[in-house]
Amino acid sequence: MPNTPVLVIHGGAWAIPEDMVDAHLRGVRNAIAAGWRVLDAGGTALDAVEQSVVIMEDDDTFDAGRGAFLNREGKVQLDALIMDGATLRAGGVGCVEHLRNPIRAARKILSESPHIYFVAEGAERFAVEHGIPLCKNEDLIIPREVERLREFQSHLAEHEKDLFAPTISHDTVGAVALDCDGNIAAATSTGGTLNKAPGRLGDSSLIGCGCYADNASAAASTTGWGEPIMKLVLAKWSADRVSAGNSPEWVAPEAMNYLQARVQGHGGIILLDARGRFGIAHNTPRMAWAFKTSKEEAAGIER
């Protein structure tokens, strides 16, 4: 008997300001619609999460792809990971500067490379060799982010203590899906943190930290302050709690409690198991999210 597909996505957990709420809601709704079309046509969970993330990478509302945060030198550096719960295969890229859709390159690595992870020039060379064109870094930069970086750097002394405060955007995007064959998958993509040091890698593209999928436990995508999430390997921690018999609805908020209590971290998580149960949680003021099943659909900023 075919499974009933489920798709859950997030568009970042932080203090999303009022004037950006509508854009975030529109963005996650567009992404859920695109991913659902894949699942509804009998497509795989892998294809669905990839397609949902591509839509958000192309939407400059989010900190992924075009419109992502600029690093200390005024460049966009992107990270992404995609993982298949059926096989535990994964593909990731880090610190790429010339790819519009890093999740596309990550997917190529998953399906066509014996390796899991490529960074910087090596990742871009792999992309070109597999038919993914490069772009100029300037093509990924928008005026809003140039001004955001200028403003941040002009008050750097004030910001030193709150570089990772929830008021600073963490618009990492992600998706988890269950397909009709009973397989789950996860994908996460990000531009990282505003004013980050060149070469800094966060949690988003690291297996078990910002992204994880295993049919035997759960698929997870996180967002937020990367360094604390990495210390706890939070996506894998959450999947393990599901494997131990807890529901994703319970584990997701517990993961946020654990993140705060253990390392004073903040962020958000989406979590889905192969039974179609899912959880959405965050400990920041807001998180953009959406989900869709055959019977229900919703999107929001707070939950």
Closest CA to 278 of 267, 292, 288: 292
What is the total residue count of the chain?
A: 303
Cα dihedral 136, 224, 126, 91 in deg (nearest 10): -160
Rounded CA-CA distance 132/145 in Å is: 25
The DSSP call for residue 267 is E
Joined together, the tokens standing for residue 69 give 């945060």
Q: Active-site residue among 44, 172, 193, 223? A: 172
Task: Report DSSP state, residue 211.
Answer: E
Cα–Cα distances (Å) from 273 to 55, 139, 177, 195, 212, in that order, read: 23, 37, 9, 35, 11
The answer to whether 172 is a known catalytic residue is yes
- Coil, helix or strand at residue 221: strand
For residue 149, the surrounding DSSP H or E stretch is: helix 143-154
Rounded alpha-carbon distances, angstroms, from residue 168 to 57, 172, 173, 187: 19, 12, 15, 23
Structure tokens at 2: 């075919």
The two beta strands, 219-224 and 267-272, are: antiparallel
Return d(Cα 213, Cα 144) in angstroms, integer: 34
Q: How far apart are CA 201 and CA 81, in angstroms?
A: 12
Residue 195: how many CA atoms within 13 Å on its side-chain side? 18
Question: What residues are labeled active site?
Answer: 172
